[in-house]
Amino acid sequence: MKKRKLGGEFTYAGVIIFFITIALIIQIAVLIYDYIIQRTTDKALIAVLMLGVIAILAVLCTVVDVIRRRITIDRPVKKILTATERIAKGDFSVRLDIQSPYGRYSHYDVIMENINVLAAELGKSEVLKTDFIANVSHELKTPLSVLQNYAALLQDSGLDEETRQRYAKTLSRAAKRLSDLITNILKLNKLENQEIKPEFERFSLTEQLAQAALAFEEVIENKNLVLDCDLDDIQIVSAPSLLEIVWNNLLSNAIKFTEAGDIIGLSLKVKGGAAVVTVSDSGCGISKETGAHIFEKFYQGDTSHSGEGNGLGLPLVKKVIDILGGEISVASEVGKGSAFTIVLKGNVYA
Ligand SMILES: Nc1ncnc2c1ncn2[C@@H]1O[C@H](COP(=O)(O)OP(=O)(O)O)[C@@H](O)[C@H]1O
Ligand SMILES: [Mg+2]
């Protein structure tokens, strides 16, 4: 937020005006007293007249002070109260009009400006929340309707064994999709709320990457892909359970967006004291337009694959890398393939 000149409660001009006012009032009282004693010697009358004069001056001062308070305190406080009440009721469209003559801000102006920022931020997260709910509901709908339809179909007792098997497989795929979606949402939610604390330890990154690739061996073989591993022997201090999420998602994407005969590359090198992991593929590649959104929740660029996955893989990857203080970059060319590079700095033992 901008740094600005704060006026308000204490200003030298205010102190001087206050001083002059008090001096003026005392001066007026003295002059009136002088005027009275020149005209009468009746002590009781002087006392009564002076009492009256003091009372009138006091009332005058009080009125001036009340007006000053109304303008400088009550008005902004009332504005702030109304705004906070509206925010408390869920109206985030509140924006306070800040009037600071001569660029001098009072503390109330700063509070009002902060309220404006707060309301704007709350409004933004409200939009994110509703978008998120809409996305989740949408993602839940497809597998749920598959479950419903195929469960109904399976109830037909006249089904032959092959059809029954096919329906059961479709059912279990839909159930897996649902469970993957929920697992990913929960994981992302926990990472965002900092409920998952990274547990750092020294481990072999080489070993972990090899294990991750091995887990996909069958899928790679079935799809007739070629896996090209080039892993240097490197240990790092990081959070292995979190990094596992990264490798699994990047490898599964590489496999998903490639065709038979394509190459999946996995490399680990040390560059400038950092561990650099690259997961590449010679698949369909990512266009510039798609590339701008791939780290957004629920974004799926390639609609022909949208039956698989839920667009939460890369947001999860990005979150983990952010938490671990690493860097992620993507290089891709449509029709030629993509390469995701992760740089993990510090505590690298080659
Ligand atoms: N290796 C890749 N090749 C081509 N496109 C990719 C690759 N990895 C990610 N993408 C694009 O990024 C999008 C988001 O990826 P992700 O968050 O993992 O979601 P999902 O895999 O569920 O579609 C994908 O839908 C796809 O368009
Ligand atoms: Mg994915």
Contacts of 320 (CB under 8 A, 6+ apart): 191, 242, 243, 245, 246
Please give the pLDDT value at position 138: 84
1 DSSP 8-state letter: -
Q: Is the CB of 313 under 6 A from ligand 1?
A: yes
Query: If you average pLDDT over residues 151-176, what whole number do you get?
Result: 91
Kindly state whether residues 228 and 345 are assigned to the same domain. Answer: yes
- On whether both 106 and 151 belong to a single domain, the answer is no
Q: Report which secondary-structure segment, H or E, holds 235.
A: strand 235-238
Residue 300 CB–ligand 1 contact under 6 Å: yes
Q: Which atom of ligand 1 is nearest to the CA of 311?
A: 19
Helix (H), strand (E) at residue 328: strand 327-333
In a domain, 164, yes or no: yes
d(CA 183, CA 26): 78
58-101 pLDDT, tens digit each: 998 899 889 988 888 898 899 999 999 999 999 999 999 887 65
Read off the tokens for 159.
Answer: 């089904």
Substitution site in 257, 266, 318, 319 for ligand 1 pocket (most atoms within 8 Å of beta carbon): 257
Q: What is the average pLDDT value for the chain, to the nearest integer?
A: 90
Q: Which domain holds residue 53?
A: 12-122
Amino acid found at 299 = Y
Ligand 1 contact, 309 CB (< 6 A): yes
Domain annotation covers residue 86: yes
334 and 264 in one domain?
yes
Same domain, yes or no, for 259 and 311?
yes
pLDDT at 8 over 60: no
Spatial neighbors of 304 by CB under 8 A, at least 6 apart, are none
End residue of a domain, out of 73, 93, 122? 122
Question: Do 242 and 337 have their domain in common?
Answer: yes
| Integer angstrom CA distances of residue 154 from 93, 145, 176 | 51, 14, 18
Ligand 1 atom nearest residue 295's Cα: 17
Segment 18-31 shows an average pLDDT of 90
222 and 143 assigned to the same domain: no
Distance in angstroms (rounded) separating the CA atoms of residues 67 and 61: 10
Q: Give the least confident one: 222-236, 293-307, 326-340.
A: 293-307
Atom 27 of ligand 1, nearest CA residue: 301
Residue 206 Cα to ligand 1 middle (Å): 24
Does the predicted TM-score (pTM) go above 0.75?
A: no
CA triple 318-319-323, angle to 5 deg: 115
- Structural domain includes residue 331: yes
For the record, the structure tokens of 341 come out as 């590079």
Provide the pLDDT for residue 209: 98
Tell me which of 122, 147, 177 is where a domain ends. 122
The verdict on 208 and 344 lying in the same domain is: yes
CA distances from 257 to 47, 98, 286, 333 (A): 100, 53, 10, 13
Q: Which of 122, 146, 165 is where one domain is finished?
A: 122
Tell me the residues surrounding ligand 2 (ion) with CB < 5 Å: 253, 309, 313
Take residue 49 and report the two structure tokens written for it.
Answer: 């007249």
- Identify which ligand lies nearest to the alpha carbon of 311: 1
Domain presence at residue 158: yes
Residue 6 lies in a domain: no
Q: Is 187 in the same domain as 205?
A: no
If DSSP codes are grouped into helix, strand and coil, which group holds residue 57? helix
Q: What percent of the chain has pLDDT over 90?
A: 67
CATH number of the domain residue 182 falls in:
1.10.287
Residue 127 counted as domain residue: no
* Predicted local confidence at residue 1, as pLDDT: 52
**From the CA of 257, which ligand is nearest?**
1
Q: Is residue 311 part of a domain?
A: yes
Same domain, 172 and 205: no
Residue 209, domain CATH:
3.30.565.10
Number of domains making up the chain: 3
Amino acid code (one letter) for 156: D
DSSP state of 70: I
Tens digits of residue pLDDT in 99-142: 765 566 788 889 999 999 999 999 999 888 888 888 888 888 88
Together in a domain, 290 and 171: no
Q: Both 80 and 179 in a single domain? A: no
Q: Please give the Cα distance from 305 to 255 (Å, whole number).
A: 11
pLDDT tens track for 135-163:
888 888 888 999 999 999 999 888 899 99
> Cβ–Cβ contacts within 10 Å for residue 213, how many?
18
The Cα–Cα gap between 50 and 32 comes to 8
Between 107-154 and 75-88, two packed helices, what is the crossing angle to 10 degrees? Answer: 10
Shared domain for 181 and 91, answered yes or no, is: no
Residue 174, in any domain of the structure? yes
Is the alpha carbon torsion for 112, 117, 120, 121 positive or negative?
A: negative
The answer to whether 223 and 189 are in contact (CB under 8 A) is: no
- Tell me the three state secondary structure of residue 64: helix
pLDDT digits (tens, 9 = 90+) for 242-291: 999 999 999 999 999 999 999 999 999 999 999 999 999 999 999 999 99
Q: Cα(200)–Cα(144) distance, rounded to whole angstroms?
A: 39
